[in-house]
Amino acid sequence: MDFESLSGNTYYYDNQIGIAFPSNPLMKKLISANPRQMEVIAATEKNKEDLLFYSRFLEKLNLMGDPVICSISTSIVQGYNNKIRQRISRFVRKTTSFSKSIFSCINAGGSVPCNKTSIRAFLSPVVQHKERQVFVITMSDVFENVMELAKRRGFIWPTSECYGAVAGFIDYGPLGAMMKRRIENIWRDFYVIREGYYEIECPTIAQEAVFIASGHVAGFADKMCQCPHCKEYLRADHVAEGGGIPNASTMKNEELSAALATCKCLACEEVLGKVEVFGFNLMFRTSIGPGSQRVGYLRPETAQGMFVDFTRLLRFYRDKLPFGAVQIGKSYRNEISPRQGMIRLREFTQAEAEIFVHPDEKNRHPRFARYADYSMPLLTYVQQQKCEEAVTMTMQEAVEKGVIANQYLAYYVALTHEMLTTIGVKPERLRFRQHLPDERAHYATDCWDAEIRSDRFGWVETVGLADRTDYDLNAHGGASGTPMTVFIQYAEPKKVPRRRIVPNMGVLGKQYRDKAKAIFAALADAIPTKDGVDVDVNGEMIHIPPDLYEVKDEIVDIRGEDVVPHVVEPSYGIDRMCYAVLEQAYDEDTADGETRTVMRFAPCVAPVQVAVFPLMTRDGLDTIADGIARTLHKRGILAEYDDSGAIGRRYRRQDEIGTPFAVTVDYDTKENNTVTLRDRDSMKQVRVAIKDLPDIVTALVEGTKTFTELVL
């Protein structure tokens, strides 16, 4: 059933109370569970007003067609299972008073702040039917729940909290630091172990010349404005986006300044009026050594260290292409107004790879077959311009159709998808979006962003993948005077005719003395004319008459050529990956009649991989449990021994920090040398022999065995 005249989307209609709902996967799932409550109907004059009202309501929320958003009536709530009903009942919030029908919206997308004032202000321009009664059922904001748990259980803390935390900086607590290291090591497994790219480590401070050459000193800036009311400095493009102004990041300063006049300040919510938009360089400037004579900057990215080390890397890889280098480390950007927790930090961890490729070989990746048939949704710039959905295709199709520029870029797009899903990102909440033509850097052939859907922040750019061509090596080669090229030898030497100037060294040496050597070098590349040759020596043009040299025509063997490699760069934001893992792992369910908070980490990223419990701390049970923990430690498994409190409470503590498996030593252990192995997600248990436990736990953590296989 299509209502093209309304919004172009399919709607479901509740025939009991006369309310329309957008069609999306979650809605279909709800309807299939309660078929007697819903029926699909066509738009008629009788219900057109309702359909228009609620479609505009959802459009205002910017949630139309979102797969995690649905609308339900409170009369249907009773039809759901206890888990859903308990969640809904916990978070009902009344926003405004009307009187005809009841409309309910589960908002899991975070587009509206979860408080009565914000929701009422957001809806007031739309909801104006005085005879209606509207309720908004808002799933508790996952961001708030995740950050509360993260602070309480030692994942993430505000930095220098005792002095008043500073926005844009965080501390990783014991569990957060361990989870972050596991994610970094999985990244290393993909790029260092599998791809064979060695890791290097460069200083986080570099001299100014590096960033002048890279363009960061001149152009690494965000557009900024200052609110005339509260004096807060704001990202101008963020203010514009909040005011519904499209393509703000591509506007000129004067144009953007005029557009902001009607927008509201993000801090005090006053209308800005006339403001000045200006550039703010995001690099942290410092001085190197005493006297402030040498300027340096904290690096805004790890990439530049690998570019300036190119000649060393080339020799390390025996002067052969392709090769790559990787680096994981801290980068710094002096963000104007970081208000998004772990998403926008002033100090953050990057993991970048720079793959140096022959310009003519980018469609001949030696291992492309590994991902040729790997399929995923790709949101091309064409789909974005037409407001269409992403298209699923294989990497082979994407390259053949020109959707992705070349095999190298497609290979790392697929590798990134595999890696993100490995650490626990759900495929349905992951997309790859191509940069729009006016968004892509002028020197780049093609750019893609891996974006992860956040309940609070929407689609968040987490990984950037770009074909940067030869821009960076040319920039540093030109500025430093160091050739950043690779000599590519031909299969067979090429015979090429060449006209060579042979100078009369005796005469030139006496006539030009100190300049003679430079003149000889310049003549080697000069083109003679009948009147002589003009050569440039340190900015001075010197004319050499034809009687001071001899011209020889000869055939020479050219054995190869110097080539500036192109660079394919996957750049990962480790902190954003960590937040995505935390948010998507967070869950609540019911266990033993009460709510259980559980972090459903993939075993490979869980900070604590297995917990070991003695049922009692007597009769030798604690000794056996301690021995099991020590045996697992020798296997490289982080096993946590815990004998405090009732066994149920110990399970809940470990569930809340995401420990995937728990071992319980009980009195049967003393009889038959077996222990109980519990799975966090299903809460199922199985008895296994102590002697087999290390191998089983190792296989479970590495993912080569599943708990379901043990139960069967």
129 pLDDT exceeds 80?
no
Question: Tokens representing 173?
Answer: 């607590």
92-106, 157-171, 310-324, 512-526: range with lowest mean pLDDT = 92-106
- Higher-confidence residue of 505 and 587: namely 587
- Cβ contacts of 331 within 8 Å, gap of 6 or more: 204, 298, 299, 300, 301, 302, 347, 348, 349, 350
Range with the largest mean pLDDT of 220-234, 243-257, 300-314, 332-346 = 300-314
Angle of CA points 610, 612, 617, to nearest 5°: 165
- Residue 54 confidence (pLDDT): 43
Report which DSSP code applies to 279.
E
Give 1's pLDDT tier (boundaries 50, 70, 90).
Answer: very low
Buried b (16+ CB within 10 A) or exposed e, 59-90: ebbebbbbebbbbbbeebeeebeeeeeebbee
Contact of 269 with 289, CB cutoff 8 Å:
no
- Residue 120 confidence (pLDDT): 43
482 pLDDT exceeds 70?
yes
6-20, 285-299, 613-627: range with lowest mean pLDDT = 6-20
Contact of 73 with 102, CB cutoff 8 Å:
yes
Measured distance CA(480)–CA(214) in Å, rounded: 11
Measured distance CA(237)–CA(253) in Å, rounded: 10
Query: Residue 163: how many CB atoms within 10 A of its CB?
Result: 7
Tokens 């914000």 identify what position? 118
Question: Tokens representing 340?
Answer: 């998004």
Report which DSSP code applies to 64.
T
pTM of the model: 0.76
- Phi then psi for residue 583, to 5 deg, are -65, -45
| Mean local confidence (pLDDT), 169-175 | 96
- Cβ contacts of 290 within 8 Å, gap of 6 or more: none
CA dihedral of 613, 618, 624, 628, whole degrees rounded to 10? 20
124 pLDDT exceeds 90?
no
| Mean local confidence (pLDDT), 366-386 | 94
236 pLDDT exceeds 60?
yes
516 pLDDT exceeds 70?
yes
| Mean local confidence (pLDDT), 440-446 | 90
In this structure, which long-range contacts are made by residues 59-64, counting pairs with CB atoms below 8 Å and at least 24 apart in sequence?
Answer: 59/7, 60/122, 60/123, 60/125, 60/126, 61/105, 61/107, 61/109, 61/111, 61/112, 61/122, 62/111, 63/22, 63/105, 63/107, 63/109, 63/111, 64/7, 64/9, 64/22
- Higher-confidence residue of 139 and 605: namely 605
| Mean local confidence (pLDDT), 117-143 | 42
Instruction: Name the nearest CA neighbour of 4 among 68, 48, 57.
Output: 48
Could you tell me where the DSSP H helices lie in 635-688? Answer: 647-656, 667-672
- Residue 7 confidence (pLDDT): 35
**Given the DSSP bridges, would you call strands 610-614 and 661-665 parallel, antiparallel or unpaired?**
parallel
284-288, 477-481, 496-500: range with lowest mean pLDDT = 496-500
58 pLDDT exceeds 60?
no
Tokens 């470990």 identify what position? 654
Residues 467, 469, 470, 471: is their CA dihedral positive or negative?
negative
Range with the largest mean pLDDT of 139-143, 257-261, 509-513 = 257-261
- Residue 189 confidence (pLDDT): 98
Contact of 146 with 586, CB cutoff 8 Å:
yes
Whether the bond between 359 and the residue before it is cis, its omega within 30 degrees of 0, is no
- Cβ contacts of 292 within 8 Å, gap of 6 or more: none
- Higher-confidence residue of 628 and 5: namely 628
- Residue 11 confidence (pLDDT): 41
Every domain of the chain and the residues it spans: 11-140, 487-563, 608-711
712 pLDDT exceeds 80?
no
| Mean local confidence (pLDDT), 350-362 | 97
**Cα 678 → chain centroid:** 33
512 pLDDT exceeds 90?
no
Buried b (16+ CB within 10 A) or exposed e, 559-569: eeeeebbbbbb
**Given the DSSP bridges, would you call strands 685-689 and 674-679 parallel, antiparallel or unpaired?**
antiparallel
- Cβ contacts of 196 within 8 Å, gap of 6 or more: 324
Query: Alpha carbon of 558 to those of 361, 488, 492: distances in Å?
Result: 21, 11, 9
- The predicted-structure confidence for 664-676, as pLDDT tens digits, reads as follows 999 999 999 999 9
- Residue 305 confidence (pLDDT): 96
351 pLDDT exceeds 60?
yes
Contact of 380 with 434, CB cutoff 8 Å:
yes
Query: Alpha carbon of 449 to those of 381, 440, 446, 475, 608: distances in Å?
Result: 12, 11, 11, 24, 31
Tokens 């005249």 identify what position? 5
- Residue 46 confidence (pLDDT): 40
99 pLDDT exceeds 50?
no
| Mean local confidence (pLDDT), 640-651 | 95
**Given the DSSP bridges, would you call strands 102-106 and 156-158 parallel, antiparallel or unpaired?**
unpaired
420 pLDDT exceeds 70?
yes
Burial environment of residue 502 by CB neighbours within 10 A (0 to 12, 13 to 18, 19 or more):
exposed
521 pLDDT exceeds 90?
no
- Higher-confidence residue of 523 and 562: namely 562
Query: Residue 288: how many CB atoms within 10 A of its CB?
Result: 15
576 pLDDT exceeds 60?
yes
Question: Tokens representing 414?
Answer: 């697929």
Cα Rg of the chain (Å, integer): 32
Give 403's pLDDT tier (boundaries 50, 70, 90).
Answer: very high
Burial environment of residue 402 by CB neighbours within 10 A (0 to 12, 13 to 18, 19 or more):
exposed
- Higher-confidence residue of 74 and 399: namely 399
33 pLDDT exceeds 70?
no
543: left (phi over 0), alpha (psi -120 to 50) or beta: beta
82-86, 456-460, 541-545, 699-703: range with lowest mean pLDDT = 82-86
Question: Tokens representing 67?
Answer: 């797969």
**Given the DSSP bridges, would you call strands 594-599 and 566-573 parallel, antiparallel or unpaired?**
unpaired
Burial environment of residue 501 by CB neighbours within 10 A (0 to 12, 13 to 18, 19 or more):
buried
Fold (topology level) of 608-711: Rossmann fold (3.40.50)
Give 292's pLDDT tier (boundaries 50, 70, 90).
Answer: low
| Mean local confidence (pLDDT), 67-84 | 32
Measured distance CA(95)–CA(121) in Å, rounded: 10
- Cβ contacts of 128 within 8 Å, gap of 6 or more: none
Average per-residue pLDDT in the chain? 81
86 pLDDT exceeds 70?
no
What percentage of the chain has pLDDT greater than the value 90?
A: 56
Residues 172, 173, 174, 179: is their CA dihedral positive or negative?
negative
